[in-house]
Amino acid sequence: MSTGFYGAVEKISEYIPEVPKPPRKPTLHTRFLWTLIALVIYVVMGYVPLYKAAVVGQTFLPFYQIIFAAREGTLTSLGIGPIVTGGLVAEILVGSDIIKLDFSKPEDRKAFTALTKALTIFFIAFESIMYAIGRMGFYFHVPSGALPVDILQLILAGFIIYLLDAMLQKGWGIGSGISLFILTGVALRILVDLFNPATVSNQYFGLVPFAVQAIASGQPYLMLVRPGMFPSVLGLIATIAFILALIYLEGIRVEIPITSARFRGFSGTYPIKLLYVSNIPVILVGALMANLQIVVMGMAGWLQHSKSWISSILAVYEQTPHGPHLVGGILYYLLGPRDFYHAIQDPLMTTTFVAVMIVLSVIFAKLWVEMSGMTPAKTAENLLRAQVTVPGFRTTKSSVKMILERWIPSVTLIGGGIVGLVAGVSQFLGVFGGGIGILLMVDIAIQYYQILLQEELELIMPRLAGIFGR
Q: Which of 110-124, 153-167, 194-208, 381-395 is modeled with the greatest confidence?
A: 153-167
Distance CA 362, CA 360 (A): 5
Residues 24, 140, single domain; the answer is yes
Residues 184, 222, single domain; the answer is no
The answer to whether residue 210 is domain-embedded is no
Range scoring the smallest mean pLDDT among 119-133, 206-220, 327-341, 393-407: 327-341
pLDDT bracket for residue 2 (50, 70, 90): low
The reported pLDDT for the residue numbered 56 is: 47
Q: Which of 13-17, 84-88, 361-365 is modeled with the greatest confidence?
A: 361-365
Distance CA 207, CA 308 (A): 43
Residues 262, 372, single domain; the answer is yes
The reported pLDDT for the residue numbered 463 is: 47
Q: Name beta bridge partners: 320.
A: 323
The reported pLDDT for the residue numbered 82 is: 92
277, 283, 288, 290 alpha-carbon torsion, rounded to 10°: 160
Range scoring the smallest mean pLDDT among 141-155, 238-252, 298-312, 339-353: 298-312
> 340-356 burial, b if ≥16 CB within 10 A, otherwise e?
bebbeebeebbebbbeb
Distance CA 140, CA 74 (A): 13
Query: Does pLDDT of 436 surpass 90?
Result: no
Query: Does pLDDT of 464 surpass 50?
Result: no
The answer to whether residue 424 is domain-embedded is yes
Coil vs helix vs strand at 448: helix
The answer to whether residue 79 is domain-embedded is yes
Last-in-domain residue among 151, 176, 201: 201
Element (H, E) at 325: strand 323-328
Q: Length of the chain in residues, anyone?
A: 470
Query: Does pLDDT of 283 surpass 50?
Result: yes
The answer to whether residue 179 is domain-embedded is yes
Residues 405, 438, single domain; the answer is yes
Reported as a single tens digit per residue, the pLDDT across 363-415 is 989 888 887 778 888 888 877 877 777 777 777 778 888 888 888 999 999 99
The reported pLDDT for the residue numbered 469 is: 46
The answer to whether residue 208 is domain-embedded is no
The reported pLDDT for the residue numbered 162 is: 94
User: Residue 461 has what DSSP assignment?
Assistant: -
Residues 177, 230, single domain; the answer is no
| Contact by Cβ (8 Å): 1, 108 | yes
Question: Cβ atoms within 10 A of the Cβ of 47, count?
Answer: 11
Residues 284, 416, single domain; the answer is yes
The reported pLDDT for the residue numbered 208 is: 93
Query: Does pLDDT of 468 surpass 50?
Result: no
Question: Cβ atoms within 10 A of the Cβ of 252, count?
Answer: 12
User: Residue 57 has what DSSP assignment?
Assistant: B
The reported pLDDT for the residue numbered 212 is: 92
The answer to whether residue 212 is domain-embedded is no
Closest CA to 289 of 436, 91, 438: 436
Residues 224, 180, single domain; the answer is no
Residues 195, 343, single domain; the answer is no
Residues 138, 231, single domain; the answer is no
The answer to whether residue 209 is domain-embedded is no
Q: What does pLDDT average to over the chain?
A: 81
Last-in-domain residue among 201, 236, 255: 201
3-state helix, strand, coil in the chain (%, to 5): 65, 10, 30
Reported as a single tens digit per residue, the pLDDT across 197-244 is 888 778 898 999 999 989 998 888 889 888 777 899 988 998 898 888
Residues 143, 256, single domain; the answer is no
Closest CA to 1 of 116, 106, 114, 101: 101
pLDDT bracket for residue 467 (50, 70, 90): very low
CATH code, domain carrying 79: 1.10.3370.10
Coil vs helix vs strand at 50: coil
pLDDT bracket for residue 462 (50, 70, 90): low
Residues 162, 222, single domain; the answer is no
The range of the structural domain enclosing residue 14 comes to: 1-201
Reported as a single tens digit per residue, the pLDDT across 36-62 is 999 999 999 998 989 887 764 445 556
Query: Does pLDDT of 110 surpass 60?
Result: yes
Q: Name beta bridge partners: 326.
A: 317
Look at 152 and 16; give whichever has higher pLDDT.
Answer: 152
Q: Alpha carbon of 98 to those of 89, 94, 262, 359, 367: distances in Å?
A: 11, 6, 38, 24, 15
The answer to whether residue 207 is domain-embedded is no
Residues 329, 366, single domain; the answer is yes
Q: Name beta bridge partners: 204.
A: 199
Please tell me the total count of domains within the chain: 2
The reported pLDDT for the residue numbered 414 is: 92
